[in-house]
Structure 1
Amino acid sequence: MLEKIVISVVVPAYNEEKLIGRCLTSLTQQDFKQPFEIIVVNNNSTDKTAEIAKSFGVRLITEQLQGVVSARQRGLLAASGEIVVGADCDCIYPSTHLTNLYQHFQNPRVVAVGGPAIGEKRPFWAHLIYKFGFGLVALLYRFTGQVLYLGGFNFAYRRKTFLRLGGYRTYLDFGGDEWEPLARLKKVGKVIYDPLLLMYVSTRRYRVGFIRWFFVHNFYYYILNFWLARLFKKTLIHAPAVREK
């Protein structure tokens, strides 16, 4: 008799042949003692992403509608675990990540859990942005009990609860796997921010320089894109994927 899957880790993947290997290595080396699955959602990759994913023996599925939020929704619908854990190809997860995360879900009131990321120290200012940003989230959580932000790369939730809420809004691009689902989950249960759930993320998006990152990537592609999509219920700005060269 097959054991019941407890956790489903969903990893969206689009042309990530440079980094997906180290991500999946970290996820396959988790010390979590109960059954879990890793689902890689191939989102129209034209490189060796799918081939590399297969070599790790993970579940490989396909989503043809382009976009990370659509890929996360496809992974959610394919997931078997009671808990769905969001991950990204450009991230590395400590071997204790799933174990530490799952402990919070022993409280039936908890519907979602997340934690901080630490960026690579190149460029240095990007590393500081991660430290300052998540430091602010931790400070507000400590004094108010409210979670201001959870990154899609470190965001876990109860599968059935999120499905009842309608899952991801696939017309959203950036932020559609972070701000928006967080807001809905906070309305139906307790959301935990655990500073000890630290993982590592690439700073490749910041290598364009501070000015271009702040005004183009952060304001135009992220903030403006998110709010326009929410207003018109469709994606109006398509942000280009940033990949390792």
Structure 2
Amino acid sequence: MKIPQWINDVNLPYKTYDEIPQNIVDEINTNLDKVTSSHPIITILIAAYNEEVNILRCIYSLSKMKTDIPFEILVVNNNSTDNTQNTLDRLHIRKVFQPIQGCGPARQLGQENARGKYVLLADADCLYPQVWVEEMMKVLQQPGVVCVYGRYSFLPEKGYPRWQLFMLEKMKDVIASYRQIKRPYLNTYGISMGYVKEFGLKAGYVMANIRGEDGRLAFDMMKFGKIMPVKANSARPWTGLRTLDRDGSFAKALSNRIIREIKRSVKMLRSEKTHDTKTSTNDD
């Protein structure tokens, strides 16, 4: 799978806040004024921590969204120490500040301030195609569905050629299909996830700085309805390699994921027992 052309259009080259020219900000704001609504049905919710340039790229991609469904963009500055707030203040979007560190607290404050009936989660360091909202909502608005998740792709970098990343993505898609049978909440990542706000508020995010706040919310929403995948490749957001870099190399990232999935493959065919997602650890 090659990098689509739209990526080159929105993947701005700036490395620091001081490099951002006003004409780019003006262009983004012109786009935002056309596509966003003060009476939204959807809130695109983004948690941002020290993303002074990445958030600009993300918003730039979202400003080119093609949909007839009214939406707003709400960014939660999660106690950033860089120029993230300065970037946000230059853009025609809604923003709030959450001093409690963690995606859970940030997204909880975000959904409490969301004006839309539906919430679509986006990540500050990702780029979104023009059809993303439409494809997510096609599934989320189906009867009985309370939560959806999408697939995503990786932008190549030195040491990580696109063909290797494509292989990893295909493996992840297969694993997601396997998880969907009994544990679909394990596929719900904030990079591309949507849900009915009413049920998100009832479930609530974990108010601690811990990984998996998105899946914990989805697990608690399963009592209200179904979690379903959005399989359209055209709706894939694109992201950098932060998660893969933690492993040190592509080979290590791939082997770690294969070993982990093999170890828990049998367990994935059994439903997770009811438990307190607000106090459980990732080792439980």
With the length of structure 2 as denominator, give the TM-score of the two structures.
Answer: 0.68
Q: CA deviation at 1:127?
A: 5.5
Following superposition of structure 1 onto structure 2, how do residues 161-172 of structure 1 map, counting pairs within 5 Å?
161-165=199-203, 167-171=204-208
- Secondary structure of residue in 2 paired with 1:152: coil
Greater CA radius of gyration, 1 or 2? 2
Structure 1: segments with no counterpart, 5+ residues? 220-229, 237-245
The alignment yields a C-alpha RMSD, in angstroms, of 2.9
Q: 2:196 aligns with which of 149, 158, 171?
A: 158
Q: 2:279 aligns with which of 228, 233, 243?
A: 233
Moved more, 73-82 or 126-135: 126-135
Q: Which residue of 2 aligns with 1:76?
A: 111
The one-character-per-residue Cα deviations of 1:19-77 (angstroms, maximum 9, x if unpaired) are: 11110011121112132110110111122211212222110110000111111111011
Q: 1:190 aligns with which of 226, 250, 259?
A: 226
**Structure 1 residues 61 and 235, CA gap change in structure 2 (3 angstroms):** farther
Measure, in 2, the Cα distance between the counterparts of 1:193 and 1:201: 19
Q: Which residue of 2 aligns with 1:239?
A: none
Percent identity over paired residues: 28
Letter in 1 for 2:195: Y
Measure, in 2, the Cα distance between the counterparts of 1:150 and 1:99: 18
Measure, in 1, the Cα distance between the counterparts of 2:177 and 2:209: 26
Query: Across the two proteins, how many residue pairs are aligned to each other?
Result: 220
The one-character-per-residue Cα deviations of 1:163-190 (angstroms, maximum 9, x if unpaired) are: 122x11112511112x212222223211
Matched, 1:94 2:129: yes
Measure, in 2, the Cα distance between the counterparts of 1:49 and 1:235: 30
Q: CA deviation at 1:205?
A: 3.2
Q: CA deviation at 1:83?
A: 0.4
Q: Which residue of 2 aligns with 1:46?
A: 81
Measure, in 2, the Cα distance between the counterparts of 1:47 and 1:138: 39
Q: 1:173 aligns with which of 210, 224, 243?
A: 210
Q: CA deviation at 1:101?
A: 1.2
Q: Which residue of 2 aligns with 1:135?
A: 174
Q: 1:26 aligns with which of 61, 68, 82?
A: 61
**Structure 1 residues 232 and 183, CA gap change in structure 2 (3 angstroms):** closer
**Structure 1 residues 35 and 135, CA gap change in structure 2 (3 angstroms):** same
Structure 2: segments with no counterpart, 5+ residues? 1-36, 261-275
